[in-house]
Structure 1
Amino acid sequence: MASHLIQGRTVGMPVRVRDAEVCSALYPVRADAARAVIAYSGLDVAEVLPGKAVCMLVFVDYRDGDLDTYHEFGMAFLVRPPGSSGAMGPAELRQAGVFVHWLPVDQEFTLEAGRTLWGFPKELADIELRLASPYKRCILRKDGRLVLDMLIKPGLPVPGAGAMAPLDAYTHRDGVTRRVAWSVRAKGARVRPGGALIRLGNHPIAKELSELGLPKRAIFATTISHAEMSFGEAQQV
C-alpha cells in the first residue's frame, strides 16, 4: 500500500474518512461562464441542458478521518471525462466527473495533505458551521472578507441511500490536471428541491459566483448526516 509523509506523519492510501456531515447545493449556470472559470484546467463542463452547466457548493464537517477533524467548503463543476466529445445524454452524464475549483479548509495538516497528495486547491479560511439547528449554515470568510453565508434546509429522506456510484474528482495544480478516484457511503441522506439560500460577500470568489449568476434558486440541496469516504491515488490526466 502506498504511503506519503506529510508534516512528519505517514498517510496511507487510500485516505479514509470514517465520519463526516455533508451539505451541498447544485446550481444551474451558463455553460460559457463556467467554461471561462475553469479554462485553466483544460477540462470542459458537462452541459446538463443546452448552454447550461452545474456549479456545486458544498460544506463539510470532517469528524473522524485520516486527515484529522476540520471544516471544508468547496466550489466545483460537473465536467466531461477528458477526451470525450459530442452531446451528453443521460448515459454520458453518468460518466461525468467533478472538477474542484476552490477548496478552503480551516486546518494546516489537511491543507498540506490535500495539496501534496492530490493537487486539491486548498487554502486556509475561517469556516463557521452551524449544523445543530433545523437549517444547516456555513459562514465562510477568507482574508478577513466575507465570501458567503449559506443556508440549507434538509428535505425528505432518500430511501435506500448507501454506497453511491464512485466519482472521479479532478484537480489542477502547478500546471498539472489530475484525476482522483473518490467513493462515498451515505447514511441519513435528505434531498430538497431548491432548499438553499446564499448571501454573497465582497471577496473575489463571491464576485466569481455573482458572475455565474448566483444567488439564484438551486436545482436541489442535499444533506448527509453520516458519510464515509475514500480517496485514492491521484493520476495525471
Structure 2
Amino acid sequence: MAERVTWGTIEDQTITFPMNVDDFNAATMGFSVPAAAAAALLPGDGFEIIEIGPGVAQFIISLCDYRDNPWGDYNEVNLGFLARPAGAGDDVIGSFIYRMPVDQQFTCEAGNLVMGFPKVVTRIDADYTDAQVTFQLLDGGELALSVTVPRVRTDDAAVRVETTSYSYLNGVPHGTPLAMDMSAAVVEPGDVHLTIGSGPIADELTSLGMPAEPDFCSWGEHLTATFQLGAPL
C-alpha cells in the first residue's frame, strides 16, 4: 500500500494522496486526427505528440460524471492527446489534457494548484435516460460540444489501466501517476453522436476534424480510480 502523503490544505480541506475516487461514470473515446493540428494545441515545448501513424495523433475525449470523489460530485470533460515528455523514449506513453472544464469550483482550484491541470469552471450537463447519456459542454454560455452515447452494459470486469497524466505546474513539466478503470463495455463507433457548437473550444475541435466517428469508445458506470501525488519531470 502506498504511503499516504499530505499536500496541504485548500478551503479548510486537507489534500492527501493517494486520492481514491470510489464511484464515477465515464465515456472514453479516441479519434485519429492530424498530428500537426494536435501539436498546435499543445502548450509550451515540454511535451510532444505521439504519432500512432505517419502524421496521425490520437485525440482522446473523456466525459466523466464523478459521483464519489474527495474533491466533489462534479462533471468533467477531458480533451487531450497521447503524448510524452519531449525527448523521452518511444516506450513512454501518457496523455496531455489541454482542456479540462469542470462544473464545480473546489475541484477546479485543487486541480490547478496541486496537479497543474487546466481546469476551468463552466456548465457541463450529464443527462441520462435508460438507454443513453448525453454530455453537453458550454463555453461562454454557448454550446461547444454535445456527445451522446448508449449506456451499453457488460458482465465483464473493468480493466485497471495505469498511466501518467502530463501537465505544467507553475510552468514546470509535471507528471501525475494514476490508475483508472477502463470499462469493458464497448460502444459501436457509429452509435456515438457528436455535435460541435460555437466558441473557442468548438473552433479547436473543428481544427482537429470534429465531428467525426471515433476509432473506439467505451461507457462505464461505477468505475474507480486512484491518483498519486505528481512530481516535476
In 2, the alpha carbon distance for the partners of 1:105 and 1:35 equals: 24
Residue 118 (structure 1) shift: 0.4
SS state of the match for residue 203, structure 2? helix
In 2, the alpha carbon distance for the partners of 1:43 and 1:223 equals: 29
Partner of 1:136: 133
In 1, the alpha carbon distance for the partners of 2:224 and 2:101 equals: 20
Partner of 2:48: 44
Residue 38 (structure 1) shift: 0.4
Give the aligned CA root-mean-square deviation in angstroms.
Answer: 1.8
In 1, the alpha carbon distance for the partners of 2:113 and 2:106 equals: 11
2:113 to 111, 116, 131: 116
The residue type equivalent to 1:58 in the other structure is: S
Contact 2:130 2:151 in 1 (8 A): no
Tell me which stretches of 4 or more aligned residues in structure 1 moved more than 3 Å.
154-160
SS state of the match for residue 67, structure 1? coil
Residue 41 (structure 1) shift: 5.0
Aligned length: 228
Partner of 2:15: 11
Partner of 1:212: 208
**What is the TM-score with the length of structure 2 in the denominator?**
0.91
1:2 to 5, 8, 19: 5
In 1, the alpha carbon distance for the partners of 2:196 and 2:45 equals: 25
Partner of 1:153: 150
Identify which range, 147-156 or 2-11, moves more after superposition. 147-156
Residue 142 (structure 1) shift: 2.3
The residue type equivalent to 1:69 in the other structure is: D
Partner of 1:181: 177
Contact 1:61 1:71 in 2 (8 A): yes
Partner of 1:22: 26
1:78 and 2:82 are equivalent in the alignment: yes
Contact 1:189 1:225 in 2 (8 A): no
1:34 and 2:33 are equivalent in the alignment: no
Deviation per residue, 1:157-186 (Å, 9 max, x gap): 373434x23110111244222100010135
In 2, the alpha carbon distance for the partners of 1:222 and 1:151 equals: 12
Q: Which runs of 5+ in 2 are unaligned?
A: none
**What is the TM-score with the length of structure 1 in the denominator?**
0.89
Q: Which runs of 5+ in 1 are unaligned?
A: none
The residue type equivalent to 1:128 in the other structure is: D
In 1, the alpha carbon distance for the partners of 2:75 and 2:131 equals: 19
Percent sequence identity over matched residues? Answer: 28
